[in-house]
Amino acid sequence: MDAGAIQRALRRIAHEIIERNPDLNQIILAGIPSRGNEIARRIAETISTIEKAHIAVGTIDVAMHRDDVGTRTELPVVRASDLPLPLETKTVVIVDDVLFTGRTVRAAMDAITSFGRPARIQLAVLIDRGHRELPIRADYVGKNLPTAPDEKVRLRLGEEGSEEGVWLVNE
Amino acid sequence: MNTRWNRKDLLGLRELSADEINLVLETADAFKQVGTREIKKVPALRGKTLVNFFIEPSTRTRTSFELAAFRLSADVINITVAASSLSKGETLKDTAKILEANHVDIIVLRHSSAGAPQFLAERLRSSVINAGDGAHEHPTQGLLDTYTIREKKKRFEGLHVAIIGDILFSRVARSNIFALTKLGARVTLVGPSTLVPRVFEKLGVTVSYDIDKVLPTADVVNLLRIQHERQRKEYFPGVGEYIRLFGLTKERAKLLKPDCLIMHPGPINRGIEIDSEVADGNQSVILDQVTNGLAVRMAVLYLCGGIAT
């Protein structure tokens, strides 16, 4: 998947979000650090261009909500979350780069509900690589990428100063 | 920040690198934000058990650790010396072994003897957090003071921090000195020569006996409590003389830069090391220190208690 394909996928997701959510003032795009933030920013920008509406963007850190703390020798770095409050009437769209086991998304839902009770939570991902361990599915998918469990999905986005794209690697 | 945390214990700041200190401070940023949520609790240490083991009295540190543990979803029990078998003659090691046999994951220890936390840390699988050991170190206080300075001043390089008062008996001073010098701040110690011996200069700080010369260039003043409980009379010039020579009185506070931070680890002896008007004035960040203490302790518990052992 190259830079053009990423851009087209995100544009389609933007259109789908508009279609599913008539009141864009009630939408918050909540990126999971760090690539989820960049993807959320790009989707929000696209929606703004299409609909001339301002889209709220936030960040939702999941490290302190994970279910594997204490079992890892390498702790995930925790960052502050930042969501525009209150959430009560809002639709929070969780945005992440790759959907794999679903555990990160579960942690993100847990984190979001600690800020309040949004009207609904949706999920947008650039890549769905399968192998879910929890009953979770995405509402918006950039690309379904069949993988083997031990394969890795490598993703680069522009701000890292190199060629953008998605690659499947065997390690 | 690519620093990895691989310590199960926090015994002092002397052994931490500047990167490790910065990692704790950055982690505390994230936990500080949890306090603003509708639900001020995260599951990071769910299922872990923490024991507050306080051989010396303490309200604020113990409460702060307890609240930090609650916010991380850990279970907490408090043991004070009067309620423990130590008062029946059981050794510290035996008491700690009993705690570990009960599958306690984190022991927060306050002890009157320097080195007690290290003694336990070397013998137990549980994490040991030093909550103050004798006149040695009080690392979480040093971290929360450092965090507060970083939050208000946004830098350490070139910052002049004056620590004033009873340095000799102060674990708070030691932890602050280690952290601040590693991060690039300039530290001056001020107090009576009996309580601020020149030997402290070996730690890379300046020693001064003239507070009025130090105050005008300070970006931060940290006033330490006169620890009557640790002092023999001969160290101390008498309260009246102390106030006259080293107390941050309303008059003396006029020497300070307008943006100089006034800090105090508490509990405050109002009218002795600091006047009430100054402690409650707009340069004072004493209550910020308390709020930040909670975030810093959450970070320390998360880092030490969250790692697989």
Q: What is the DSSP string of B27-90?
A: HHHHHHHHTTSSS----TTTT-EEEEEESS--SHHHHHHHHHHHHTT-EEEEEEGGGSGGGGT-
Structure tokens at B188: 């001056």
Contacts of B6 in chain A (CB under 8 A): 73
Question: Distance from A81 to chain B by nearest Cα, in Å?
Answer: 7
> How far is B191 from B197, CA to CA, in rounded Å?
9
pLDDT at res. A36: 95
Residues A158-168 have pLDDT tens digits of 766 678 889 88
pLDDT at res. A160: 61
Whether the predicted pLDDT of A1 surpasses 90: no
Q: DSSP code of A26?
A: G
Structure tokens at B128: 């040991």
Question: Distance from A105 to chain B by nearest Cα, in Å?
Answer: 15
pLDDT at res. A157: 85
Q: Could you count the other beta carbons within 10 Å of the beta carbon of residue A102?
A: 17
pLDDT at res. B231: 60
Give me the residue from A72, A74, A115 closest to B38, CB to CB: A115
Across the A:B interface, residue pairs with CB atoms under 8 Å apart total: 69
CB B173 within 8 A of CB B179: no
Tell me the backbone φ, ψ of residue B190, rounded to 5 degrees. Answer: -130, 135
B307 touches chain A (CB under 8 A): yes
CB B140 within 8 A of CB B297: yes
> How far is B198 from B210, CA to CA, in rounded Å?
14
Give me the residue from B4, B42, B308 closest to A70, CB to CB: B308
pLDDT at res. B99: 84
pLDDT at res. B85: 67
Q: DSSP code of A75?
A: P
More confident residue, A152 or A123: A123
pLDDT at res. B4: 84
The H helix count followed by the E strand count for chain B is 11, 9
pLDDT at res. B98: 87
Check A110 against B303: CB less than 8 A apart.
no
Contacts of A111 in chain B (CB under 8 A): 42
CB B225 within 8 A of CB B273: yes
B165 touches chain A (CB under 8 A): no
B5 touches chain A (CB under 8 A): yes
Q: What is the mean pLDDT of residues A88-103?
A: 96
- What ranges make up the beta strands (E) of A23-164? 27-31, 56-59, 91-99, 120-128, 140-144, 152-156
Residues 12-71 of B with CB under 8 A from A: 26-27, 29-34, 37-39, 41-45, 47-48
Name residue B113's beta-bridge partners: none
Kindly state the helix (H) or strand (E) to which residue B128 belongs, with its residue range: strand B127-133
Give me the residue from B5, B29, B37 closest to A114, CB to CB: B37
C-alpha closest to that of A110 among A30, A14, A28: A30
% chain A with pLDDT above 70: 95
Check A80 against B32: CB less than 8 A apart.
yes
Question: Distance from B28 to chain A by nearest Cα, in Å?
Answer: 9
Which residues does chain B have with pLDDT short of 70? Answer: 1-2, 83-85, 87, 229-233, 308-309
pLDDT at res. B257: 97
C-alpha closest to that of B123 among B135, B109, B136, B134: B109
Give me the residue from A70, A79, A114 closest to B30, CB to CB: A79
Contacts of B24 in chain A (CB under 8 A): none
Whether the predicted pLDDT of A74 surpasses 80: no
Check B43 against A73: CB less than 8 A apart.
no
pLDDT at res. A159: 62
pLDDT at res. B95: 84
pLDDT at res. A11: 96
Q: B250: left (phi > 0), else alpha (psi -120 to 50), else beta?
A: alpha
Sign of CA dihedral B264, B268, B272, B276: positive
The H helix count followed by the E strand count for chain A is 3, 7
Interface test with B, best of A75, A110, A113, A117 (most B CBs within 10 A): A75
Kindly state the helix (H) or strand (E) to which residue B298 belongs, with its residue range: helix B286-306
pLDDT at res. B225: 85
Q: Full-prediction pTM beyond 0.95?
A: no
DSSP assignment of B192-225: -TTTS-GGGGGGT-EEES-HHHHGGG-SEEEEPP
pLDDT at res. A161: 66
pLDDT at res. B229: 65
Tell me the backbone φ, ψ of residue B158, rounded to 5 degrees. Answer: 80, -5
Average pLDDT of the residues of chain A: 91
Whether the predicted pLDDT of A56 surpasses 60: yes
Length of chain B (residues) = 309
